[in-house]
Structure 1
Amino acid sequence: MDLLLIVRIGGTRVALDASEIESVIELDALSPVPRAPKHLAGLSALRSRVLTVVDCKCALELGTTEFTPGEIHEAAVTEIDGHHYALSVDSVEDVIEAQGDLNPVRAAMGGGWERVAAGMVETGEGPLLLVDIAKLIEGPKKDERAAA
């Protein structure tokens, strides 16, 4: 992990491993998916590929993002096990270099953040939480989803 994509989710500035991100896009149209878990906002298309759109805010149990038709949302595109996902975030800020190794998180952060935390990574702008993308896509645990 050399480069980090810096994003904001639920107002919090965090890092994603840039090597796991294919591109950054603007989402403007979503097709809902009946019976999908709440954190899966719908489907979108990118160059003849179907993207499953993950509402990262909802996946972290920080509320839901309002996907109003015609409104643009920023997202980071990733592929896991042959499936393409668009991670809808508040904003995409920058790509920066990581400085040093990944360190354990030494503070309580709350349920959603603790579930997706890969560790803390040092940057020229200070330490940032590195988010485990696969765990973010999984969303809340089944019993947590049922309670929502």
Structure 2
Amino acid sequence: MNDLMVMTEIAGCRCGLPASDVASVIDLGAITPVPSSPDFIAGITALRSQALTVIDCRKALGLDPKPFETDSRAAVVTIASHSYALIVDKIEDISTTQSEPTEVTGGFGPEWTRIATGMIETAIGPALMLDLPSLIAGPEKFGEAA
């Protein structure tokens, strides 16, 4: 397979984002809150005069926020012509896949089942592959309330 993946960590799980979907990794600057936005939207920030919606990935999964400081960097992705900065606990590295995606077996919980498209082996270990539109849509409870 040998696809490049941006390896991240969210809530103790190693996650792979296809490098082709990640425009850049940025140092996250000031985040401006957006009134009346869902809790998983941390606010907006700017990258070279472009507005980015900042998504807290833990909250987007419906998990508790991290009790301590996260990585100051964020992965920038574009979905349906809109750019997002994804706050993750840690951006680890770039790695290559060493297997085709396999079914995600139990033990991760319903939060992960909603957004994980498969499990892959990489040069630095196993990782969940994520469906970025599902992650950006926010927690299931938000989707039901909308």
TM-score under structure 2 length normalisation: 0.88
Partner SS for 1:22: strand
Supply the distance in 2 between the matched residues of 1:103 and 1:126 (Cα, whole angstroms): 14
Report percent identity of matched pairs.
44
Amino acid at match of 2:41: L
Name the residue aligned to 1:118: 117
Structure 2's unaligned 5+ residue stretches are none
- 1:97-108 equivalences under 5 Å are 97-108=96-107
The answer to whether the 8 Å contact 1:55/1:65 transfers is: no
- Paired position in structure 1 for 2:13: 12
RMSD of aligned C-alpha atoms? Answer: 2.3
For 2:82, the equivalent position in structure 1 comes to 83
What amino acid does structure 1 have at the position aligned with 2:130?
Answer: V
CA contact (8 A) 1:108 1:114 kept: no
- How far apart are 1:14 and its partner, in Å? 1.4
Q: Deviations over 1:89-144 (max 9, x none)?
A: 11111000011211111223112111110101111233211111111101112457
Q: Deviation per CA, 1:41-85, whole angstroms, max 9, x where unpaired? A: 10000001000000001111221258x9xx972110001111000
Contact (CA 8 Å) 1:27, 1:74: kept in 2 or not? yes
TM-score, structure 1 as length reference: 0.87
Q: Give the aligned length.
A: 144
- Asked whether the equivalents of residues 4 and 95 of structure 1 are also in contact (C-alpha less than 8 Å), the reply is yes
SS at match of 2:36: coil
Alpha-carbon distance between aligned partners in 1 of 2:143 and 2:20, rounded to the nearest angstrom: 30
> 1:3 matched to which residue of 2?
4
Return 5+ residue gaps in structure 1 as ranges.
Answer: none
